[in-house]
Amino acid sequence: MTGGLQGPGPLDRPQPTGRRNSQGIRVDPDAEADPETRRAVLSALVEHEPGVLAEVSGLFSRRQFNIESLTVGPTENDNRARITLVFEEPEPGLEQAKKQLEKLLPVVSVTELPDDATRRELALIKVSATRPDEVSALASMYDAQAVDAGRETITVEVTGSKQKIDAAVEAFDRFGTHEIVRTGIAALSRGAEYTATTPDGAPADD
């Protein structure tokens, strides 16, 4: 009879899989996995004054948020402008972005728009003019219109959702794409709901 506890020898015991860090501690693969991200559209009502756009974009740059698109323009109020930002981040990053944006002095209101918000983008697509009739036919399929036509190129204007613009860009490429420019998304809440509101739900311009 030999001493010690009964059981399998060291080589026969189950060997846990996984990686260890520099201290020899086993790393949980789930803990190392990249967090799930979410695509968000933020609408910021800001004071219409010089330097606001640089201040907003600088904030996102310092926090290393990856902006997918950014549009800015005047509103129904001459003293206000609306900035629409589209970016994709993990959930904590989205909340941080909204809070940091709300702290900026020129920012009046920040709203994350729901999935059913009205979202539109514009694109100008310049293609070769070797088959003008086919370009015109394809343009009609996408409710697009030619805004410039010459002997060598035709430029069409397409407006609609991001998905529609993506499909149009791919479709027109059959004619040989010379150049493309896209505005990025502009968005508003649907119906009578205000896009920009104060914390108590009142219109931000009140």
Q: Is the pTM of this model over 0.85?
A: no
Q: Which domain holds residue 95?
A: 37-112
Under 8 Å between Cβ of 66 and 43: no
Total domains in the chain come to 2
In a domain, 87, yes or no: yes
In a domain, 47, yes or no: yes
Same domain, 106 and 127: no
Pick from 89, 112, 135: which residue ends a domain? 112
Reply yes or no on whether the pLDDT at 9 is more than 90.
no
Contacts 24+ apart (CB under 8 A), 89-97: 89/37, 89/38, 89/40, 89/65, 90/35, 90/36, 90/37, 90/38, 91/35, 91/36, 91/38, 92/35, 93/65, 94/38, 94/40, 96/63, 97/40, 97/42, 97/60, 97/63, 97/65
In a domain, 4, yes or no: no
Same domain, 158 and 130: yes
Which CATH number does the domain housing residue 103 bear? 3.30.70.260
> What's the confidence (pLDDT) of residue 33?
55
In a domain, 205, yes or no: no
> What's the confidence (pLDDT) of residue 21?
58
Among 76, 100, 97, which residue's Cα sits nearest to residue 88? 97
Pick from 81, 112, 143: which residue ends a domain? 112
In a domain, 174, yes or no: yes
Among 38, 35, 39, 99, which residue's Cα sits nearest to residue 69? 39
pLDDT one-digit tens code per residue, 106-163: 899 999 999 889 999 999 999 999 999 999 999 999 999 999 999 999 999 999 999 9
In a domain, 149, yes or no: yes
> What's the confidence (pLDDT) of residue 179?
97
Who has greater pLDDT, 93 or 42? 42
In a domain, 161, yes or no: yes
Who has greater pLDDT, 93 or 162? 162
Same domain, 136 and 108: no
In a domain, 58, yes or no: yes
Contacts 24+ apart (CB under 8 A), 25-28: none
Coil, strand or helix: which one is 52? Answer: helix
> What's the confidence (pLDDT) of residue 82?
93
- The residues with which 20 forms a beta bridge, in sequence order, are 26
Same domain, 89 and 143: no
> What's the confidence (pLDDT) of residue 95?
85
> What's the confidence (pLDDT) of residue 92?
80
Assign 59 a pLDDT band (cuts: 50, 70, 90): confident
Same domain, 46 and 89: yes
> What's the confidence (pLDDT) of residue 20?
60
Under 8 Å between Cβ of 124 and 169: no
> What's the confidence (pLDDT) of residue 186?
92
Sorted by sequence, the CB contacts under 8 Å of residue 106 that are 6+ apart come out as 46, 47, 49, 52, 55
Among 106, 108, 112, which residue's Cα sits nearest to residue 56? 106
Same domain, 103 and 44: yes
Assign 24 a pLDDT band (cuts: 50, 70, 90): low
Same domain, 55 and 104: yes
Who has greater pLDDT, 206 or 13? 13
